[in-house]
Amino acid sequence: MINGPADGLRFRTLKALPLRETELKDPVVAIAGTEIILKGTIPSGCYAEIVPETDKILVKDPVGNVVGELSPSLPIPELADGESEVKISFSQEAPRTRWTIGVYGK
């Protein structure tokens, strides 16, 4: 709510969306046509990282401390050259999430 003239303002309303702490349970990642269930949980603010040359997936907090591990249902496939599609879904309803996917290779 603005009291007085709004001349020169670039927006009139700014809303903050509430954040909810949650755990994402058993995410399903579809990579290169293969669906892999990652058994375990990823708490809010944490991220999962595949250890290179293994199928080990560590769950880390925002500063990089290991707080857990995910167990893949299948070996993690190598991505083919060119574009690849990655899809992520969950076994339960989850609030909106933001995902950043990083890849490594030659």
54-75 residue pLDDT tens: 878 899 988 999 999 999 998 8
Residue 13, domain member (yes or no):
no
Residue 30, domain member (yes or no):
yes
- DSSP annotation of 29 reads E
pTM of the model: 0.70
Give me the percent of the chain exceeding a pLDDT of 70.
Answer: 74
Residue 74, domain member (yes or no):
yes
pLDDT band at 7 (very low <50, low <70, confident <90, very high): low
Residue 103, domain member (yes or no):
no
**CA–CA distance, 26 with 72 (Å, rounded to integer):** 9
Residue 48, domain member (yes or no):
yes
Checking if the pLDDT of 8 tops 80, the result is no
What does pLDDT average to over the chain? 78
Residue 10, domain member (yes or no):
no
Instruction: Supply the pLDDT for residue 67.
Output: 95
Residue 7, domain member (yes or no):
no
Checking if the pLDDT of 39 tops 90, the result is yes
Expressed as residue numbers, the domain containing 76 is 23-89
Count of the separate structural domains present in the chain: 1
What is the arithmetic mean of pLDDT over 30-53? 86
- DSSP annotation of 51 reads P
Residue 35, domain member (yes or no):
yes
Exposure pattern of 27-46 as b/e (b: 16+ CB <10 Å)?
A: bebebeeeebbbebbbeeeb
